[in-house]
Amino acid sequence: MTPHRFLPSGPLKGRIRVPGDKSISHRALMFAALAVGRSRISGLLEGEDVMATAAALRTMGARIAREGDDWVVDGVGVGTLLQPDRALDMGNSGTSARLLMGLLASHGITAVLTGDASLSKRPMDRVIEPLSQMGAQFTASPGGTLPLTVRGMQPAVPIAYRLPVASAQVKSAVLLAGLNTPGTTTVIEPVPTRDHTERMLRGFGVEVRIEERDGERCVSLSGPADLAPCDVAVPGDPSSAAFFAVAASIVPGSDLVLENVGLNPTRDGLFRVLVQMGASIERLDEREVGGEPVADLRIRHARLRGIAVDPALAPSMIDEFPVLFVAAALAEGRTTTAGLEELRVKESDRLSAMASALRTIGASVEERANGLVIEGTGGAPLAGGGPVATHLDHRIAMSMAVAGLASRHGVQVDTTEPIATSFPNFLALLDEATG
Q: 236 vs 381, which CB is nearer to ligand S3P?
A: 236
> 218 to 237, contacts with ligand S3P by CB under 6 A?
none
Q: Is 386 helix (H, G, I), strand (E, B) or coil?
A: strand
> Terminal CA-to-CA distance of the chain, rounded, Å?
26
H-type alpha helices, 161-292 = 168-179, 196-203, 238-250, 269-276
Q: Count residues near ligand S3P (CB under 6 A).
A: 10
Q: How would you classify the pairing of strands 36-42 and 280-289?
A: unpaired
Q: 39 vs 95, which CB is nearer to ligand S3P?
A: 95
Q: 45 vs 294, which CB is nearer to ligand S3P?
A: 45
Q: What is the largest CA-CA distance in the chain?
A: 61
4 φ, ψ to 5°?
Answer: -150, 135
Q: 251 vs 273, which CB is nearer to ligand S3P?
A: 273
DSSP codes joined into one string, 317-347: GGGGHHHHHHHHHHSBSEEE----GGGGGSS
Q: Report the 10 Å Cβ neighbour count for 142.
A: 5
DSSP secondary-structure letter at 20? Answer: B
419 φ, ψ to 5°?
Answer: -60, -30
**What minimum distance in Å lies between the beta carbon of 186 and ligand S3P?**
18
Residue range at the interface with ligand S3P (CB under 6 A); choices 70-78, 165-173, 223-231, 355-363: 165-173
**What minimum distance in Å lies between the beta carbon of 281 and ligand S3P?**
22
> Rounded to whole angstroms, how far apart are CA atoms 64 and 32?
9
**What minimum distance in Å lies between the beta carbon of 167 and ligand S3P?**
3
Q: 226 vs 342, which CB is nearer to ligand S3P?
A: 342
- C-alpha atoms less than 13 angstroms from C-alpha of 434 in its C-beta half-sphere: 22
**What minimum distance in Å lies between the beta carbon of 352 and ligand S3P?**
17
Among 169, 185, 335, 421, contact with ligand S3P (rule: CB under 6 A): 169
Catalytic residue, chosen from 296, 319, 393, 414, is: 319
**What minimum distance in Å lies between the beta carbon of 45 and ligand S3P?**
11
> Rounded to whole angstroms, how far apart are CA atoms 166 and 311?
12
Residue range at the interface with ligand S3P (CB under 6 A); choices 167-175, 229-237, 290-298, 373-381: 167-175
> 6 to 25, contacts with ligand S3P by CB under 6 A?
23
> 46 to 105, contacts with ligand S3P by CB under 6 A?
95
DSSP secondary-structure letter at 338? Answer: -
DSSP codes joined into one string, 33-93: HHBEEEEEEES---SHHHHHHHHHHHHTT-EEEEETTEEEEEEE-TT-PPPPSS-EE-TT-
> 178 to 197, contacts with ligand S3P by CB under 6 A?
194
Q: Which one, of 41, 172, 39, lies nearest residue 96 by Cα?
A: 172
Q: 169 vs 335, which CB is nearer to ligand S3P?
A: 169
Task: Tell me how far CA of residue 329 lies from CA of 33, 133, 189, in angstroms.
Answer: 44, 45, 33
Angle, CA 191 vertex, CA 335 and CA 120 arms, to 5°: 80
Residue range at the interface with ligand S3P (CB under 6 A); choices 59-67, 162-170, 266-274, 295-303: 162-170
> Rounded to whole angstroms, how far apart are CA atoms 35 and 57?
12
319: annotated active-site residue: yes
Q: Is 167 in the site for ligand S3P (CB under 6 A)?
A: yes
Q: 154 vs 266, which CB is nearer to ligand S3P?
A: 266
Among 28, 56, 168, 263, contact with ligand S3P (rule: CB under 6 A): 168
**What minimum distance in Å lies between the beta carbon of 70 and ligand S3P?**
21
**What minimum distance in Å lies between the beta carbon of 239 and ligand S3P?**
7
Bridge partners of 335? Answer: 374
Residue range at the interface with ligand S3P (CB under 6 A); choices 62-70, 106-114, 138-146, 161-169: 161-169
Positions in the binding site for ligand S3P (CB under 6 A): 23, 95, 167-169, 172, 194, 318-319, 342
- Show which residues are catalytic: 319
